[in-house]
A and B are shown apart, each in its own frame.
Chain A
Amino acid sequence: MSLESYRCDMEGCSRCSSCKWIPLAQIRSQRWSQVCPSVWHNDFHAYSGSGKLNVALSILDGRSDFDESAADIFYACTMCGGCDVGCKVYRNDIDLTDTFHEARARAVELGFARLEHLQLVENMRAENNVFGLPRDERADWAADTSLLDANSEQVDILFHVGCRFSYDESQRDDLLAAVEILRTTGKRVGTSGTAEACCGQRAYECGFDSELHNFGDDMVNRVRTSGASMVAVACSDCFGAFNYLYPRNGKDLGVPVRHISEIAAELAADGSLVGAFSTPNATAAARPRVVTYHDPCHLGRRGEDYAGEFDGPKIDRPDNTRRDGRGGRYDAPRDVLKSLPGVTFVEMQRVREFSWCCGAGGGCAEGSESFSIAVATERLEEALSTGADTLATSCPWCVTNFTSAREQMRADGDHREIEIIGISELAARQISGEVPVTITTTATTCEEAAT
């Protein structure tokens, strides 16, 4: 694809601004009615989904140049796809985020890539992870887990850990809980150890398409080597990459991809999730919590099953071949949370396919930190408005960004409390009635390790 191939999408925008709002039928308050972090933060129309289409068309029509100023607009976006959802309530013929992706790819071609994104890609090329941490330390976390080595042993489930979980000690409890959930399936579970590499998603979103292709080929080979009948992930970015971006870019893993929340939901439904973490004094000791849930973009609207390309004019495209977000994984994590002892579940107003983004995506956590934290802070405000004392989510990148935002709030003198936690760890805590592994404030994040 190319930027030019989306000209019809750009010209088709009627500027109704549905890209700025959660679907009109879903608006329950003025405060939580916006869906696009980019225009929310930058205000001028150019930063909205519609506006970015206008900017791209201006360039294609020769009215303006693709320069640093244009690149700034395309990069001031978390690529969360919220605009796409609002638009596709009404339109079958416009793909906003795909257009932005092509604009970013063009920015890379023209030399306007962000320095931070170049560093990210360099890290991936050098060490197979986005942080540039030593590749031979990737599996250190698993030293005591006795997981199978999928490079040499036949496994049923290949657990792709992902960069964030592999290196971020502060999220170790969530990762270990995910492993326990996988073990509870009774299947043979293994990882690729130090041979595992980044899924390529974060580079792809920054406009570096070739990284997705290169790392995708590696992943396909690892899956084949393992003999697995399923790839499991606990990271939503990896899920979105494997479930949508890979097949769209011709990378066939050959097996289904499941997120840990889906697997946990199945175990919760048949009553066996409790077995993963139960202790003698299990349910009685569960801490009462009011929990709200944040839908990660790449498990939700950006993580839909790839349904192929429609062979015809987009205006005639059936709903089931569009990426309108409704096919994301929304019920499974909620089913898990509702099954947990001690949990009172409450919803925010912006949920499911029209969820507000955590701010970490689209290269913003790396290249636009203040914007990224502002977006996360807005989500924390929404979570706090529900009366929740716990914000659960299903992605380590979301957890990281929310944690950073909460720290910034504290630094700014806002000491309202809300615990941010991954869904696997929360299941472990609520079912076991205790904290499985103590998280200390000195736990090393991968950003700290990389510096």
Chain B
Amino acid sequence: MSLATDLIGEPIGADALSDLRSAVGERWVRTDPHVLDSYAAQPFHKVEVGVWIHRPIAVVMPGDATEVAAVVKACNRHHLRFKAFSTGWGAHAGAGFDNVVQIDLRRMNRILELDIENRTIVVEPYVTCAQIQAEVMRHGLNLHIHGAGSNCSPLANATSHMGMGFSSISMGYSPRNLMGIEWILPTGELVQVGSFATGAGWVSPDGPGPSLRGAIRGFAGADGGIGVFTRVGLKLYPWSGPAEIEVSGGSFRGMQVEIPPLNGSFMCIFSNLEDYGDALYDIGYAGIGYAQFKAATGLGLAIGEPELFRRIRDEPGFREQVRAFENQFIVIIGGHTQEHFDYEVAVLGDIVSEHNGTMNSTDGLMATGRGGLWWAVIRNSIAPGMFRPTGNFYSSMGGDEAIANALRQATVGEELKEGFIAEGSCADDLVDNAHTLLYENGLYAHTEELVLYDHRDREQNRKLKGLSDTVMHSIVERTLGGGGFSFFAGAYAHEVLGPHMENYHLWQRRLKSALDPEDLSDSKYFINSEGVEAAGHG
């Protein structure tokens, strides 16, 4: 079969369809090929060539946890795999096999509780980070927004998929902010994890009831491989800015925002990677910063000023000058008082100075006008911009290690990517784009080697397929530690990386087998119950 018509399984049986309709109502079950294919077009973050992943056998849209449980039980009765889907961005959200029922959680879009005093919020799967942030800012609160951006579901991220973001330096990574979880097991039973399960409110994710948070999450998350999460409590953080932000001039490029008092955005530039890394350590030790990230020079230009980027990329003199800015990151300071703000700015200035760097306000930087970059980071409205330069990107590597080792991965990542660029597997982005975030109170750095490519260019797409393998094997062979986003190269990645990381994959496989004895919760991107051969390659 051709690529375009591949991955289409047999239609759903009449009995199974009837059961699903009983579970959610006829209106909320679709099996027409057009609707099914709209869930099978997932070109982002997939290792296979082309647009299509497996076409689900049906799409169901439950309205609450009871209906989710009924769907999962129906799938068990008919031995159908199922895969939960919330905001659904990327191949890991879709069907990994034939005969998968896609459970679209779009109707579960309620903010159920907002406890301002205790700084927690309880949400369903189809509430986005941008929505929550807009609602809680008027109460002087904010939430951690993971790297994928504010268009995504914080429930899906916190329960199932990595979780680092610009605000990790002050708010941790997503699973740290879970305050309780409602979970439909792969067998259809409903489990409540955390203090709310005993009526004690959303004050602790780990008790007085049982804590299964580690089992659910591990480090990277199961990407839908161990059931469906239907409700979570999330921790909120103080916000000293205004209730609403006035935006003018554009919504990304050209965006104009007045940075509010007690807030500032600073680019810190260093002459070498050693000083850069040492400064990151000191920032972590000092406990300063509201948000932080490395603003990749080439990538940032490609997103914000694509025409300028192309001219720079193609001009050797410019190119080298721009790469001189490689060792830089941005720190956003958000003070709660003037003294607090002044203190953090002064400490940041001292740290940068001690490591021979320079520090400048980002106001007016690049295409984002005054304050635009600051708001783009706070709202995290940047991530979809990654598609502007070439149409797609891939994220691999990922330190998630002590800062020095994470930066070592970044260096190796650059070296690998140089090779891929040379052979035409991905776009030339000036290479310095190892996205870097501090998290875990500055103890760890998260790096991602981002690769720009166009999946519509089939030849480039085929060549790039080797990148995830190359990265994974480089991590092992060069003992770089921390697989990060390499985990999302599919179940195969766990088989390659697990033996070098305390055999975590064996433990996760035992959990998977216990929770999902029939292997029905689609684990294309999680642990496969039968090992590397069954996992498939890529």
Contacts and interface: CB of A to CB of B under 8 A. Distances in A.
B44 interface: yes
B34 A69 contact: yes
Given A23-B251, A45-B88, A92 B388 contact: yes
A54 interface: yes
A69 B35 CA distance: 9
A29, A54, A315, A318 — most chain B CB neighbours (10 Å): A54
Contact of A15 (B43, B55, B106, B390): B43
A12 B310 CA distance: 20
Contacts of A59: 34
Contacts of B33: 58, 63-65
A419 interface: no
Contact of A16 (B41, B387, B454): B387
Interface of A: 8, 11-18, 21, 23-30, 33, 43-46, 48, 50-51, 53-55, 57-59, 61-65, 69-70, 73, 89-93, 315-316, 318-319, 326, 354
Contacts of A26: 247, 251
Interface residues of B, number: 68
B146 to A, nearest CB: 14
B502 interface: no
A318 B135 CA distance: 35
Contact of A63 (B4, B380, B388): B4
A316 B307 CA distance: 7
A26, A30, A319 — most chain B CB neighbours (10 Å): A30
Contacts of B380: 24
Nearest to B6: A63
B387 A30 contact: no
B491 to A, nearest CB: 22
B250, B255, B455 — most chain A CB neighbours (10 Å): B250
10 contacts: A21-B128, A24-B251, A24-B380, A57-B37, A57-B51, A58-B34, A64-B34, A89-B385, A92-B388, A315-B389
B251 A14 contact: no
Interface of chain B: mostly helix, strand, loop or mixed:
loop
Interface string B127-152: 11011111100000000000001110
B30 interface: yes
Q: Which 8 A-B pairs have the closest CB atoms?
A: A23-B251, A61-B4, A24-B381, A58-B37, A46-B38, A30-B131, A64-B33, A51-B38
A354 B252 CA distance: 13
Nearest to A60: B4
Nearest to A8: B456
Interface string B370-410: 00000110011101110111111000000000000000000
B32 interface: yes
Contacts of B34: 46, 55, 58-59, 64, 69-70, 73
B208 interface: no
Interface in B245-299: 245, 247, 250-253, 255
A14 B391 contact: yes
B226 to A, nearest CB: 24
A328 to B, nearest CB: 13
B130 A33 contact: yes
A307 B89 CA distance: 33
Nearest to B372: A25
A15 B93 CA distance: 11
B43 A315 contact: no
B385 A90 contact: yes
Contacts of B381: 23-25, 89
B38 A45 contact: yes
A92 B302 CA distance: 12
B190 interface: no
Contact of B390 (A21, A51, A63, A315): A315
B455 A11 contact: yes
B207 interface: no
Nearest to A70: B34
B263 to A, nearest CB: 16
Contact of B87 (A11, A17, A62): A17
Nearest to A74: B34
A237 to B, nearest CB: 26
B111 interface: yes
A21 B391 contact: no
